[in-house]
Chains A and B, each alone.
Chain A
Amino acid sequence: MLKFISGRLLQAIPVLFVVITATFFLIHSAPGGPFSNDRAVPPQVLKALNARYNLDQPIWQQYVGYLGDLAQGDFGPSYKYPGRSVNEMIFGSLSTTAELGLYALLVAVLIGVLAGVLAALKPNSPQDYVPMSIAMAGICMPSFLLGPLLVLVFGIYLEWLPISGWGDMPGDKILPAITLGSSYAAYIARLSRAGMLEVMTQDYIRTARAKGLPEHIVVLKHALRGGLMPVVAFLGPAFAGLLGGSFVVETIFQIPGLGRFYVQAAFNRDYTMILGTTIFFSVSIVLFNLLSDVLATWLNPKLRHQGQGDKP
């Protein structure tokens, strides 16, 4: 397993290098610089600003300089927020985005697995159609629509829940978590259904039933482990996606997370912030994919054996 993990991590290095290099040169070639403004910036001011951020150097020198700083763990200063470093902004808002992602994942797994398993137990019946139709609606409904809808119903009309903020008022995490998690819940429901349907036709399930085990024991003890394999494989990329895709929800609910910086940075041409967040999300995707594979291998004995068989 260690060899597998270290191999995957080594593979990630060139991938990240390509991502950093491509992002660096692409953002520097985009029209409009970080200091362009509606009001003309006087030439002497522009010169001072460019000098401060080394933008007066040739592009390759800026690139080498950036890689040098990066090697020391320094993402550089933000161009948009002169008093803040990119490190400070990323790590300052990361916990909020991660917390939001975790709650959303929890919502997604709880609702998704429950709906998927229920649907798989009685395929082609109302018990299947209803949750799967809701799942399809969940996939189709974007968070910029669902979020305001939940806010209107539960925040404004019923006045049950706060509609903005994070950690200031009790219950202010519920609507953002549901909004962000719902589309993932829908995917997980479909994945669980498919996985469970496949497993339920297996011989060992038939054997378990033949032994006279109650149905809930068959489902919970025997079928779930195999049936949820596709869900487990999906969790890693899903969490990485939740981290990177939270900007809409963060904007709707005024959440001080990383996603807002990610989008604002692109609009502001805040080069270092764009690079910092891109690197951060790339690393997240690599790590969570790896974690998901490790979990799947651990859960599935067949995969473990395949892994051993590959050894020379």
Chain B
Amino acid sequence: MSMEVVPGPAGYIPTPPAFEGVELPPPGKALLYGKIVDEETAMREAAKAMLTRRNPTIFPGPLVLWGWNASAMEKAKAVLELAMEIPNCRIIPMPDYRPKYPKIDPEAEINPNHPNLTILHNKIEAAIFVGIHCHYANLSLRMIRAGTNCFTIALCAEMGHEDAMVSLRDQHAEEIRRFRDVLVQVREELGIKWEPKLPPENPSLPPENYETLSVVDYGEYSYLLIPRRGEHITESE
């Protein structure tokens, strides 16, 4: 009997579902609360969570945010189309996995080193993870399950994540649009009225102007930029 993966808080040090017999779904299937089910069933449950729980939020990761190939760009569009159909949905990005100095801004971004802070600060009770490298998605999902009551949904481009309440695998632009269609259908069944519109602006940090950056802006790393006394750099890549 494998573990039931439900919203937390699961406690101080959560047990990974993989330790308790939860296996990733085969192609064409999905995970719902740690059980293997049809994709449609999982999508409907995920849609219901995003439509009925407080402060639904999408967390896109680098594989969606960075336009590193045509497929990523198309996927980013699909994620935006999905967000538009979810009433009052927000988008909080996970642009990278760096630890942040001196602390994160939980409204501007989510960080895998303490993702629970972003969830708690914004009182998010339903979240979609998409475009995050699997390792970091697993870490974040488990920490969120440990310390929050957030219902997590993973739209994974690979094999899925045991720690999400709903885990859909092999999700690319086409599959995300299918999920959007299912969500719209569930929304209508629930009688929720909503005109598609863009999510609110993310209060991210202002874009950096690299032309005005000085060595001092690099703080403790500035020593890496300043040549040592007597050192002459004659060539560089």
Query: Does A associate with B in a complex?
Result: no
B-to-A contact residues, CB < 8 Å: none
Q: What is the interface of chain A, defined by CB distance below 8 A to chain B? A: none
